[in-house]
A = this chain, B = another copy of it.
Amino acid sequence: MPLLGLLPRRAWASLLSQLLRPPCASCTGAVRCQSQVAEAVLTSQLKAHQEKPNFIIKTPKGTRDLSPQHMVVREKILDLVISCFKRHGAKGMDTPAFELKETLTEKYGEDSGLMYDLKDQGGELLSLRYDLTVPFARYLAMNKVKKMKRYHVGKVWRRESPTIVQGRYREFCQCDFDIAGQFDPMIPDAECLKIMCEILSGLQLGDFLIKVNDRRIVDGMFAVCGVPESKFRAICSSIDKLDKMAWKDVRHEMVVKKGLAPEVADRIGDYVQCHGGVSLVEQMFQDPRLSQNKQALEGLGDLKLLFEYLTLFGIADKISFDLSLARGLDYYTGVIYEAMLLQTPTQAGEEPLNVGSVAAGGRYDGLVGMFDPKGHKVPCVGLSIGVERIFYIVEQRMKTKGEKVRTTETQVFVATPQKNFLQERLKLIAELWDSGIKAEMLYKNNPKLLTQLHYCESTGIPLVVIIGEQELKEGVIKIRSVASREEVSGGGRNRRDEVFLPFPDSVRNMHLLAEKLSSWLIVVEMNKHPFQMTIAACEY
């Protein structure tokens, strides 16, 4: 029997970089329907469109389709995020896309107006979920769960004015990890920061920094600066804008829009410029005003312990105690944090990226109690990865570098150089599928060989199984590697790297062949240089 041929390594290395198709124009490609539909199949249905001459084919404002190219990038990033969550022992969970409107009201502070409500069609008043945290708290209270470490990946919806160019949409994906339960202080909180570091390092987005603060320090700061307690949350929401707005604009908002006394705003201004490591925590313990506030002292004590654990985790250098961090959402009660990328990679031809924070979270000890009939609290701490922004950064980077992705995983293409070979192709491809091999063929009775090979090249399929009259007569099939364009221009050696395998006529033997093919192809997946591996492993 003929031995398996040897292919040059370059042929396989090149398989890793496949053709990238330009992203589709989903978001902007609005087309006006002129209702000139000529051949109406379903007359009654078409009538509806003819009656609406201005019907526009588009996705709703602030939303978009995800093309196969988007999906490949997403799948890769989500796999990394989820595997990190699982590494830390988290369980998966899901909640409905909408909740009772009452479940969501009064949880998000000033942002509540951005909620999508469902139409009252008789029955309950419903709203699309605004984040994954409130549904998690509702789940814990409803099921009386006192302890849980869970992750949740899902879509959420917010009626924001979309700035699509910076990767903000009205529908977007969130990846949350939370630890619920009464534990010794700062151990789960430190793990959340460790997870953020692992994910941001793993994604190789460049250097990053995680700002840390404590809601009690924020409130203590407000108190000692002279902010009236009724204005705490509103001022908190202003401070939260410091990463997007200059201090003078935030000050203006606080004084003019929110009625804060100018001297109070200036006192806050002195604090929010402070950031540093554990030494700043020590310094604030000595601060003449802040050290008089019980709440602030509790927060500082916890931060000191947190830094101790972060040092043991080897990530203290990634964390900065930053008094300007406030986090707008109402439900935080303790430690809060937000991760920022330090370098915005602006290379030639690349627009400067302004992506804001890529991960954030904090402690919310009161939220579950708000759902419990007796107010029983379940302390929680968690984080949310801003995957949409990460998708955007990675996609921009690939675009700049001209990186290509395959959108399918097909391993083998079934081809024929002859006419009237559809039956043989169908039999062969069914065997491949039944053996778990990813296979495709053209849906044509008599396709041209060139068309078939071109399909493999343009979609990045690495192998072709060829069956024709000669092969059928000799009882063999031909297996050929699809050379990359570079390979062909490099000398065209692949033309002779054809592999012959026995082609039995009985279905049982066909299956054996497919099994051999299968084990061979598994090698393809496990090793960049499959042919060397295969020769050692197979002797048919």
Determine how close the nearest CB of chain B comes to the CB of A38; give it in whole angstroms.
Answer: 5
Question: A423 on the interface (CB 8 Å rule)?
Answer: yes
Determine how close the nearest CB of chain B comes to the CB of A26; give it in whole angstroms.
Answer: 6
Task: Report whether A439 and B59 are in contact in the complex, using a CB–CB cutoff of 8 Å.
Answer: no
Task: Report whether A409 and B373 are in contact in the complex, using a CB–CB cutoff of 8 Å.
Answer: no
Task: Report whether B313 and A87 are in contact in the complex, using a CB–CB cutoff of 8 Å.
Answer: no
Given A143-B29, A314-B430, do A374 and B71 touch, yes or no (CB 8 Å)? no
Question: A72 on the interface (CB 8 Å rule)?
Answer: yes
Beyond A42-B366, A60-B126, A117-B118, list 15 extra A-B contacts (CB 8 Å). Answer: A32-B373, A40-B375, A44-B233, A45-B107, A57-B103, A59-B96, A61-B123, A61-B124, A68-B150, A87-B436, A89-B440, A91-B407, A118-B119, A184-B444, A187-B444
Task: Report whether B100 and A31 are in contact in the complex, using a CB–CB cutoff of 8 Å.
Answer: no
Partner of A373, one of B31, B70, B190, B314: B31
Q: Which residues 375-428 of A sit at the B interface, judged by CB distance below 8 A?
A: 375, 377, 407-410, 422-423, 426-427
Residues of B within 8 A of A409 (CB): 86
Q: List 28 A-B contacts (CB under 8 A).
A: A25-B143, A26-B139, A35-B373, A36-B375, A39-B369, A44-B106, A44-B233, A49-B370, A55-B102, A56-B100, A60-B96, A60-B98, A60-B99, A60-B126, A71-B92, A71-B94, A75-B92, A87-B436, A87-B438, A91-B407, A97-B128, A97-B155, A117-B119, A118-B128, A121-B159, A312-B423, A312-B430, A313-B430
Task: Report whether A183 and B444 are in contact in the complex, using a CB–CB cutoff of 8 Å.
Answer: yes
Question: A63 on the interface (CB 8 Å rule)?
Answer: yes
Residue-wise, chain A 41-76 has the 8 Å CB interface mask toward B (1 for contact) of 110111111001001111111011111101110010
Question: A365 on the interface (CB 8 Å rule)?
Answer: yes
Task: Report whether A171 and B96 are in contact in the complex, using a CB–CB cutoff of 8 Å.
Answer: yes
Task: Report whether B142 and A445 are in contact in the complex, using a CB–CB cutoff of 8 Å.
Answer: no
Determine how close the nearest CB of chain B comes to the CB of A381; give it in whole angstroms.
Answer: 10
Question: A241 on the interface (CB 8 Å rule)?
Answer: no
Copy tally for this chain in the complex stands at 2
Question: A247 on the interface (CB 8 Å rule)?
Answer: no
Determine how close the nearest CB of chain B comes to the CB of A141; give it in whole angstroms.
Answer: 6
Partner of A374, one of B36, B55, B56, B95: B36
Residues of B within 8 A of A65 (CB): 93-96, 135, 139, 142-143
State A538–B413 Cα separation when bound (angstroms).
41
Q: Which residues 158-182 of A sit at the B interface, judged by CB distance below 8 A?
A: 159, 171, 179, 181
Task: Report whether A142 and B58 are in contact in the complex, using a CB–CB cutoff of 8 Å.
Answer: yes
Task: Report whether A408 and B68 are in contact in the complex, using a CB–CB cutoff of 8 Å.
Answer: no
Task: Report whether A34 and B187 are in contact in the complex, using a CB–CB cutoff of 8 Å.
Answer: no
Question: A267 on the interface (CB 8 Å rule)?
Answer: no
Question: A342 on the interface (CB 8 Å rule)?
Answer: no
Residue-wise, chain A 264-307 has the 8 Å CB interface mask toward B (1 for contact) of 00000000000000000000000000000000000000000000
Q: Which of A92, A171, A187 has the most chain B CB atoms closer than 10 A to its own CB?
A: A92
Determine how close the nearest CB of chain B comes to the CB of A125; give it in whole angstroms.
Answer: 9
Question: A116 on the interface (CB 8 Å rule)?
Answer: yes
Question: A105 on the interface (CB 8 Å rule)?
Answer: yes
Determine how close the nearest CB of chain B comes to the CB of A310; give it in whole angstroms.
Answer: 10
Question: A540 on the interface (CB 8 Å rule)?
Answer: no
State A440–B291 Cα separation when bound (angstroms).
37
Task: Report whether B97 and A171 are in contact in the complex, using a CB–CB cutoff of 8 Å.
Answer: yes
Residues of B within 8 A of A39 (CB): 369, 375, 377
